[in-house]
Amino acid sequence: AAGAPKPLPSSGPKSLREMPHPLATSSSEEMGPPLTPSPDLLLPRSIADKDLSLPNGTPVDTSSPASSSSLLNRLQLDDDLDVETRDLFVTVDDPKKHVCTMETYITYRVTTKTTRAEFDLPEYSVRRRYQDFDWLRNKLEESQPTHLIPPLPEKFVVKGVVDRFSEEFVETRRKALDKFLKRITDHPVLSFNEHFNVFLTAKDLNAYKKQGMALLSKMGESVKYVTGGYKLRSRPLEFAAIGDYLDTFSLKLGTIDRIAQRIIKEQLEYLVELREYGPVYSTWGGLEVELSEPLEGVSACIGNCCTALEELSEDMTEDFLPVLREYILYAESMKNVLKKRDQVQAEYEAKLEAVALKREDRPKVPTDVEKCQDRVECFNADLKADMERWQNNKRQDFRQLLMGMADKNIQYYEKCLTAWESIIPLLQDKPETK
Amino acid sequence: MEDCLAKKMEITVSEAEKRTGRNAMNIQETYTAYLIETRAVESQNEGQCAPVESLWRRYSEFELLRNYLSVTYPHIVVPPLPEKRADFVWHKLSADNMDPDFVERRRIGLENFLLRVASHPVLCQDKIFYAFLMQEGGWKEMVNETGFQLKADSRLKALNATFRVKSPDKRFTELKHYSDELQSVISHLLRVRARVADRLYGVYKVHGNYGRVFSEWSAIEKEMGDGLQSAGHHMDVYAASIDDILEEEEHYADQLKEYLFYAEALRAVCRKHELMQYDLEMAAQDLTSKKQQCEELATGTVRTFSLKGMTSKLFGQETPEQREAKIKVLEEQIQEGEEQLKSKNLEGRDFVKSAWADIERFKEQKNHDLKEALISYAVMQISMCKKGIQVWTNAKECFSKM
């Protein structure tokens, strides 16, 4: 039977900076020449030099490298990330269309303002297109497999059905890309990722991309750990609970998406009828003498309501639905991370079992099993921390989203109310006796 | 001017009841009977309230009354009855005549009809109308004894007149066009309104689904749960609110329908004028031709071609005695004709005068009523908007507590 994971014997408190990330090395037994601090773990000087202790005063046990990044997560979580303590700001705006011989595409301006030491300059402004964001996301998934990477808006758009260059589509996408980068910016680990840094700063991202490909092929699948073929017996309760939660969550969001779409559809059909309804009053007004103005007034009023309704439907389509879909995508990618975690645990348990079966009288657990254990613990810690953050952000995001939906409806009714209230005096008006 | 009946008497159609009975062909049928209650308006000094009198009538009796009034007072724009069958319905409403909502709206419509007649300066004085309100038994016989059916103009005759009349009063021609256009535009309006109601119903009801899914979602949430759950409740309230809103709107639709049918009554007056005018023109034409014939016979000259003239030329002339006899007959007919023409002219002028007076009265009533209807419609919309703002504000507050 697999033994309980034991902590590694302490080699004394080391600066976090010097400790290689347990997941940065390959699964091979031999440790290669000591790597320079992996690109995946660039820690701010400030934390590395401090005597670490949790906010409640208990000293932190930094002996287990497994908890290093999650430690950072936890410390950062307790910080209120208001504007003053933030040192990195990223914005996506200014979409522009580029027409080339081979293709037409949109680029967005990505503006960065920062005081972080990892950045050479305090400000950057670069242009990026969707595939650059896609590249970034893939890189983050590869290099930070234990973390929840925010979703991107859908990649593929059915040509002919949706106009990729329409103002509405571009704006919706821009908002989603902006949200994507902001989520990374807010993440205590992801925001220090080297690829993210390059994405924000490099003038020629394509050159870096090519370079990165070459590097990767040299190092082999060093960062990407392939854990195929191991089957997990059972998910630990807390992760099973997360899995169940995500399943139900996705389901409910899917239902809400369908309901919202149905409402928009019904509203548009209502709008079609209203557009025919209003002008009939006008036609009638043309027949009448004394009733002419009141009837025209009603016609104009209905016209105003049509405009208001159109705005409501547009807002819901552009602002509400995309965020909903983002979260469905988020949940999907999170479920995948959970599966990866299962894989890592399964590998560990399998190896542990293999060792136990050998029945060797070895008090010491072999190195590669130790590494597996580290990986499991690290993964679990990162995932838990990210889940907590995700839950909090999700609550805020949905609070904002749903309040926004309520607001839009309120505004719609207020516009209609104003229109109808303003014609009451017109309707009551008695024509002057001539 | 004598006070109209409406001022002297309270009239209500207070109840509707389903009945079964045997009709004229001894076949069993189900129908609705309406209770008409009347009470004389007493002056303050009396102190006591007069007793309520009541009787039951069915829709077909109302129809009989209206037909009688239309024929007897062709120069009056006779108030219309509420629709016989449910028309312009949107999907939720039943097109079934036995449906309680339809029956209720019809009850109100019938009461409105009686009040309209009772407040009309001419119609309210009619004895048959009074009997309709007060005398349950033998009323039908009374109406039939007036012989009004005989006075009714045939539809065909009226149609014929429409096409052949040469110089109708211009005002009536304009009015005819107006009433045609009014019918068309109100029909269109009612049809679209029904579709609008249908769609609006759909929009509101789908929101009810939010209630259920928010409730289910709240079950897996910790902090967000309460906010979601209570917001869902408000979505249910929102979805349910449309029923009352649309029911109120039906009253507006009924007001429009009344004037849709009023347009037909207006048209009927125009038709009567056309008929009378045509009649007059025919009579004048007839008189002219007879005079001409007379002249020809007397002078022996044939001014116009006539088959008789040709045949007499071909087959021999008539004897002077025969000619004299003919002239005498014609002169008599001409005398009659001239008198008839005079009275027809007088009739025509009287008709135009009294019809036009009632039309002016009707126009004022129409403008007033429709303005009121539009105001009440606007008020309904305002109420709907306010309810919407309330619900969404409540929902927003729930969301804010998430």
What pLDDT digit, counting tens, does each position of A13-67 carry? 444 444 444 444 444 434 444 444 444 444 443 333 344 444 454 444 444 444 4
Nearest residue in B to A421, CA atom: B382
Q: Are A299 and A275 in contact (CB under 8 A)?
A: no
Nearest CA distance, A273 vs chain B (angstrom): 6
The three-state secondary structure class of A268 is helix
Sort out which chain B residues have CB atoms less than 8 A from A395's CB and list them: 223-224, 402
Q: Check residue A72 and give its pLDDT.
A: 54
Cite the beta strand spans of A79-142 per DSSP E.
Answer: 88-99, 104-114, 123-129
ipTM of the shown complex: 0.89
Quick one: average pLDDT of A6-14?
43
Q: Are A274 and A305 in contact (CB under 8 A)?
A: yes
Where does the pLDDT of residue A187 fall: very low under 50, low under 70, confident under 90, or very high at 90 and above?
A: very high
Euclidean distance between CA atoms A297 and A421, whole angstroms: 11
Quick one: average pLDDT of A357-383?
80
Burial class (CB in 10 A: 0-12, 13-18, 19+), A112: buried
Contact B192 A280 (CB under 8 A): yes
Nearest residue in B to A403, CA atom: B396
Nearest residue in B to A276, CA atom: B192
Nearest residue in A to B232, CA atom: A402
Sort out which chain B residues have CB atoms less than 8 A from A423's CB and list them: 378
Euclidean distance between CA atoms A207 and A203, whole angstroms: 9
For CA atoms A232, A238, A239, A245, give the dihedral sign: positive
What's CA B180's distance to the chain center, in Å?
14
Nearest CA distance, A346 vs chain B (angstrom): 28
Of the listed ranges A5-9, A412-416, B260-264, the one predicted with least confidence: A5-9
Q: Check residue A88 and give its pLDDT.
A: 93
Q: Check residue B369 and give its pLDDT.
A: 96
Sort out which chain B residues have CB atoms less than 8 A from A283's CB and list them: 185, 188
Sort out which chain B residues have CB atoms less than 8 A from A284's CB and list them: 182, 185-186, 189
Burial class (CB in 10 A: 0-12, 13-18, 19+), B253: buried
Q: Are A274 and A300 in contact (CB under 8 A)?
A: no
Q: Residue with structure tokens 């704006």?
A: A171
Which pair of structure tokens corresponds to residue A372?
């597996």
Which pair of structure tokens corresponds to residue B71?
């024929």
Contact A410 B378 (CB under 8 A): no
Euclidean distance between CA atoms B65 and B61, whole angstroms: 6
Nearest to A314 by CA among A399, A408, A407, A398: A408
Q: Looking at B300-319, list the stretches that DSSP marks H as alpha helix, in order from N- to C-terminal side.
A: 307-315
Contact B399 A402 (CB under 8 A): yes
Nearest to B6 by CA among B144, B87, B118: B118
Q: For chain A, give the mean pLDDT.
A: 80
Contact B186 A248 (CB under 8 A): no
- Between A and B, how many residue pairs show a Cβ–Cβ distance under 8 A? 136
Q: Are A25 and A32 in contact (CB under 8 A)?
A: yes
Contact A399 B382 (CB under 8 A): no
Nearest to A313 by CA among A279, A270, A254, A275: A270
**CATH assignment of B169-300+320-401, given 1.10.4010.10, 1.10.10.920, 1.20.1270.60, 3.10.20.30?**
1.20.1270.60
Q: Looking at A26-100, list the stretches that DSSP marks H as alpha helix, in order from N- to C-terminal side.
A: 45-49, 68-78
Euclidean distance between CA atoms B134 and A192, whole angstroms: 95
CATH C-level class of A84-206: alpha beta
Nearest residue in A to B202, CA atom: A266
For CA atoms A364, A369, A371, A375, give the dihedral sign: negative
Which member of A270, A283, A412 has the closest CB to residue B196?
Answer: A270
Q: Check residue B27 and give its pLDDT.
A: 86
Nearest residue in A to B207, CA atom: A263
Euclidean distance between CA atoms A21 and A29, whole angstroms: 16
DSSP string, A338-396: HHHHHHHHHHHHHHHHHHHHHT---SSPPHHHHHHHHHHHHHHHHHHHHHHHHHHHHHH
Sort out which chain B residues have CB atoms less than 8 A from A248's CB and list them: 217, 220
What length is written for chain A? 434
∠ CA(A45), CA(A46), CA(A51), 5° rounding?
A: 115
Q: Are A107 and A96 in contact (CB under 8 A)?
A: yes
DSSP string, A137-183: HHHHHHH-TTS-PPPPPPS---BTTB-TTSHHHHHHHHHHHHHHHHH
Nearest to B132 by CA among B33, B2, B36: B36
Which member of A270, A283, A301 has the closest CB to residue B185?
Answer: A283
Q: Name the residue with higher pLDDT: A433 or A103.
A: A103
Burial class (CB in 10 A: 0-12, 13-18, 19+), B68: buried
Instruction: Delimit the domains of chain A by residue range.
Output: 84-206, 231-358+365-427
Euclidean distance between CA atoms A239 and A216, whole angstroms: 32
Q: Facing residues of B13 across strands?
A: B36
Of the listed ranges A139-143, A230-234, A248-252, the one predicted with least confidence: A230-234
CA separation, residue A400 to residues A108, B185, B328 (Å): 25, 46, 103
Q: Residue with structure tokens 């009275």?
A: B343
Which helix (DSSP H) or strand (DSSP E) does residue B201 occupy?
helix B170-218
Which pair of structure tokens corresponds to residue B60?
């077909």
Q: Does residue A12 register a pLDDT over 50?
A: no
Sort out which chain A residues have CB atoms less than 8 A from B207's CB and list them: 263
Q: What is the pLDDT along chain B (402 residues), one digit of tens a residue?
A: 456 777 788 899 988 888 888 777 888 888 889 999 998 886 655 566 778 889 999 999 999 999 999 999 999 999 999 988 877 777 666 667 777 888 888 999 999 999 999 999 999 999 999 999 999 889 999 999 988 888 888 777 878 888 888 888 899 999 999 999 999 999 999 999 999 999 999 999 999 999 999 999 999 999 999 999 999 999 999 999 999 999 999 999 999 999 999 999 999 999 999 999 999 999 999 999 888 888 887 777 665 666 666 666 665 566 778 888 888 888 888 888 899 999 999 999 999 999 999 999 999 999 999 999 999 999 999 999 999 999 999 999 999 999
Contact B203 A263 (CB under 8 A): yes
Euclidean distance between CA atoms B277 and A320, whole angstroms: 68
Give, as one character, the DSSP assignment of residue A53.
Answer: B
Where does the pLDDT of residue A429 fall: very low under 50, low under 70, confident under 90, or very high at 90 and above?
A: confident
Where on the phi/psi map is residue A148: left (φ > 0), alpha (ψ -120 to 50), or beta?
beta
Q: Looking at B53-169, list the stretches that DSSP marks H as alpha helix, in order from N- to C-terminal side.
A: 59-72, 100-118, 127-134, 139-145, 148-151, 155-164
Nearest CA distance, B400 vs chain A (angstrom): 6
Which of A242, A244, A248, A263 would best serve as a mutation to test chain B binding (most B beta carbons within 10 A)?
Answer: A263
Nearest to B12 by CA among B34, B51, B38, B49: B38
Instruction: Delimit the domains of chain B by residue range.
Output: 169-300+320-401
A139-160 per-residue burial string, b: 16 or more CB within 10 A, e: under 16:
bbbbbbbbbbbbbbbeeeeeee
Give, as one character, the DSSP assignment of residue A429.
Answer: P
Burial class (CB in 10 A: 0-12, 13-18, 19+), B204: buried
Q: Are B8 and B40 in contact (CB under 8 A)?
A: yes
Q: Looking at B224-319, list the stretches that DSSP marks H as alpha helix, in order from N- to C-terminal side.
A: 225-299, 307-315
Which member of A402, A403, A416 has the closest CB to residue B385?
Answer: A416
Q: Are B287 and B341 in contact (CB under 8 A)?
A: yes
Q: Does residue A271 register a pLDDT over 60?
A: yes
Q: Check residue A363 and give its pLDDT.
A: 60
Q: Looking at B2-99, list the stretches that DSSP marks H as alpha helix, in order from N- to C-terminal side.
A: 5-8, 59-72
Nearest residue in A to B398, CA atom: A403
pTM for this structure?
0.81
Sort out which chain B residues have CB atoms less than 8 A from A301's CB and list them: 378, 381
Considering the domain A231-358+365-427, what is its CATH architecture?
Up-down Bundle (1.20)
Contact A395 B402 (CB under 8 A): yes
Q: Which residues are CB-neighbours of B285 under 8 A, at least 6 positions away?
A: none
